[in-house]
Amino acid sequence: MLTGKFKRGEKLDTEKSRIGFVSKDESKAMQIAPAWSKYSDNESYWKLIELMDQIAKNHGKTIPQVALRWLLQKNIVSSVIIGATSVEQLENNMGAGSGWSITLDEVDI
């Protein structure tokens, strides 16, 4: 959900994401992905994505890197599990690992 690949008002591709697949039959929601209906009209979710996009642009990073970096900077988080489905996605996620940080103000968002 925090990848930035979903855009407000766009129809989900039912073949290219778990949440898109689940959107065909939301009775399967939470078995493999959350129900899209809980996010598609959720203003808080879209504001969070916009903030993460701005933070990503400020640091020359991607939204997924910001989400992972936020977790990595939390003292209470001992590890982060990523679910990459391609080498490109894995390499992108690895860009969150070291060499930069988000500010304390950004962490508090």
Q: Which residue from 54, 105, 96 is spatially nearest to 77, judged by alpha carbons?
A: 96
Q: Are 69 and 96 in contact (CB under 8 A)?
A: yes
pLDDT 10s digits, 47-72? 999 999 999 999 999 999 999 999 99
- Tell me which of 9 and 56 has the higher pLDDT: 56
- Tell me which of 44 and 85 has the higher pLDDT: 44
The answer for residues whose C-beta is within 8 angstroms of residue 18's C-beta and 6 or more apart is 32, 33
Helix spans in 1-42 (H): 18-23
State the pTM of this model.
0.79
8: in domain: no
The domain in which residue 65 lies consists of 61-107
DSSP class of 6? -
Q: Are 26 and 35 in contact (CB under 8 A)?
A: yes
Here the tokens at position 90 are: 């894995």
pLDDT 10s digits, 73-109? 988 999 898 888 889 999 999 999 888 999 988 888 6
Predicted pLDDT of residue 102 = 93
85: in domain: yes
47: in domain: no
Count of structural domains within the chain:
1
Mean pLDDT of 5-13: 79
Q: Which residue from 78, 109, 105 is spatially nearest to 2, judged by alpha carbons?
A: 109
Predicted pLDDT of residue 100 = 94
